[in-house]
Amino acid sequence: MSSGGIWEISDQFQLSSGFDSKAYSLAEDSLGRLYASGDAINSNLVSTSVIRMKRPGSSWITIDKEINNVSEYGGRITPYLTDRVCTTGAKINSEFQYDGILKCLSP
């Protein structure tokens, strides 16, 4: 079954070759910039939240990486009412408990 279009891969990324990475969500702001959030494992087996951005007519770039020596998980990303793009997630603190996090990109 086809909707008349062809799906193409727009971006693939890994922090370190051969290690897992995942994209969880996608958002678009009013200027047409796309943002993707997810997480990846680096060659030291450290989990890292990753936010990537694509401006119209350009390539994807990493605009934020949050590394935590224990663990960190990329969350969902969404355009906010004031045209700010925000992401949510969780990371493990020094007492090995999850802390909720919210990060917003300044306009």
Q: pLDDT tens-digit profile of 71-87? A: 445 566 766 666 678 87
Q: Cα–Cα distance between 77 and 69 in angstroms, integer?
A: 23
pLDDT value at residue 71: 46
Q: What is the pTM of this model?
A: 0.74
Q: How many CB atoms lie within 10 A of CB 92?
A: 16
21-105 classified as CATH 2.40.10: yes
Q: pLDDT tens-digit profile of 24-51? A: 888 888 888 999 888 888 888 888 888 8
Would you say residue 55 has pLDDT above 90?
yes
Q: Within 13 Å, how many C-alpha atoms sit on residue 38's CB side?
A: 19
Return the CA Rg of the chain. 15
* Cα 66 → chain centroid: 10
The residue behind tokens 């224990």 is 70
